[in-house]
Amino acid sequence: MKIVILDGYAANPGDLSWEEIKSLGECTVYDRTSPEQVVERAHGAEIILTNKTVIDKETMAALPDLKYIGVLATGYNVIDIDSAHERGITVTNIPAYSTDSVAQMVFAHILNIATQVQHHTEEVRKGRWSNNKDFCFWDTPLIELRDKKIGIIGLGHTGFTTARIAIGFGMQVYAYTSKSHFQLPPEIKKKELDELFRECDIVSLHCPLTDKTHHIVNAQRLSLMKKEAILINTGRGSLIDEQALANALNTEQIYAAGLDVLSQEPPHADNPLLTARNCYITPHIAWASKEARTRLLQVAYENIKAYIEGNCINVVK
């Protein structure tokens, strides 16, 4: 069985092993594959694995031997799912492998904005503490999280884990979710979307990117937020209208944003958020802890093994 991994570098830049997956067939691993190279490299493969390399209708049509696409991620928007189903191609993903790492990044951003650890560490290195007249100094607001209201949009694995951490900080937790009140623990209160933007001190995005959620954060919803509010996005960049957010930050309409994702990755140099006031951006690394990537490769192996044995798991419907 021929297996081709089209863009393996992000998941495994060399600190993990492909050996388990290689044990399942004749396996070729490419670090990166351009759109023009996909058909040539995947020719004759029954199984291909992809992270961000797009597999569209035309690509599938050019690969008659293709029977299985494994997405090395939870999101599967890089695959034309309808075309795959029409051709009888099984598509699997890796659910919940990075839940704890992503929730950790949510609070890394929240804590960085609330206490400015990196900023104050840099100021100490510059000698500002040594030359200070008082025993301490700070030059940004310092924010205590207890009793602050956090609104979580999307209460799946990561949203719920984020909520549990927030509860541990003594925060008031609200959620915009399809779950009913009866499905939520008493510490999480359900709110409508605009109400959540209007009332919460922190809003964190954990919903999938769909036609309905595209630009769910727009100028109108940003105008509802408190002047002291913080926006966090570790989901998908296009959940946010980036120009609208840059405008809101630069005009001090809201206080700050912590982002691990942008609409274009890597970002264009003229992305307005790269220079926006109080906008803290990490380069899509919330998912990338070694522990999370180890789980990802293990589940990818289990998905392929189950497919070979005729008992598919983690199939995208």
Q: How far apart are the first and last CA of the chain?
A: 24
| The three-state (H, E, C) secondary structure of 130-192, written as one string | CCCCCCCCCCCCCCCCCCCEEEEECCCHHHHHHHHHHHHCCCEEEEECCCCHHHCCCCEEECC
CA angle, 114 as apex, 111 and 120 as ends, to 5°? 90
SS3 50: strand
Cβ(69)–Cβ(55) under 8 Å?
A: yes
Out of 265, 268, 277, 291, the active site residue is 265
Separation CA 259–CA 245 (nearest Å): 11
48: which strand partners? 4, 69
Directed axis angle between helix 157-168 and helix 99-115, to 10°?
Answer: 40
What are the respective helix, strand and coil percentages of the chain, to the nearest 5?
A: 35, 15, 50
Q: Computed from CA positions of residues 57, 62, 67, 73, in that sequence, does the dihedral angle turn out positive or negative?
A: negative
Out of 157, 206, 236, 293, the active site residue is 236
H runs (alpha helix) in 26-156: 38-42, 57-61, 81-86, 99-115, 117-125
User: Would you call 265 a catalytic residue per the annotation?
Assistant: yes
Separation CA 253–CA 96 (nearest Å): 34
Nearest to 307 by CA among 92, 45, 5, 56: 92
Out of 120, 206, 221, 284, the active site residue is 284
**Cα dist from 316 to 94, 132, 211, 298, whole Å:** 10, 59, 18, 18
Separation CA 118–CA 165 (nearest Å): 22
Catalytic residue IDs: 236, 265, 284
